[in-house]
Structure 1
């Protein structure tokens, strides 16, 4: 039986991550790709690449293919994850 820990980077799902507002500022770009098995894996990879994202990711909402997603939600190749920090204003 293969576990998530046994999978290599090349066998993990490749996800497009889109950053909004403060997440975009922290990452220094608006879109990139990361790999993972779950939303949490993908977010951890993003934080690993951009440590300034950590406090933003802790409070951000995430959408997976346009729907709210928990950190435990599984991901598949080609999905889009959007990182939405809290917004203020009106």
Structure 2
């Protein structure tokens, strides 16, 4: 089980009610399930968001395959308007 920090940006920050919080999770899928439990708006935003793990884009990889290292930083980036 990895321990790290999840950071929320823009609409994700508003939905989470915090800018960042610690996490315990094995992979990105488990992390998303854990942080969105009982937080319907955050779950809605997370479904549309992109993720960075230690500064690296997750892209289209299945979240179950993104293993988190101890001390990882995960960033939740909702879609941004504009160009």
Q: TM-score range, shorter-chain basis?
A: 0.7 to 0.9
Runs of 4+ in 1 over 6 A off after TM superposition: none
Measured on the aligned residues, the alpha-carbon RMSD in Å equals 1.2
Q: Which runs of 5+ in 2 are unaligned?
A: none
**Greater relative CO, 1 or 2 (CA 8 Å, sep 6+):** 2
Given the two structures, how large is their TM-score scaled by the length of structure 2? 0.87
What is aligned with 2:29? 40
C-alpha separation in 1, matches of 2:56 and 2:74: 9
Alignment of 1:1-80 (within 5 A): 12-48=1-37, 50-69=39-58, 70=61, 71=63, 72-80=65-73
Aligned residue pairs total 79
Given the two structures, how large is their TM-score scaled by the length of structure 1? 0.81
User: Which one has a bigger Cα radius of gyration?
Assistant: 1
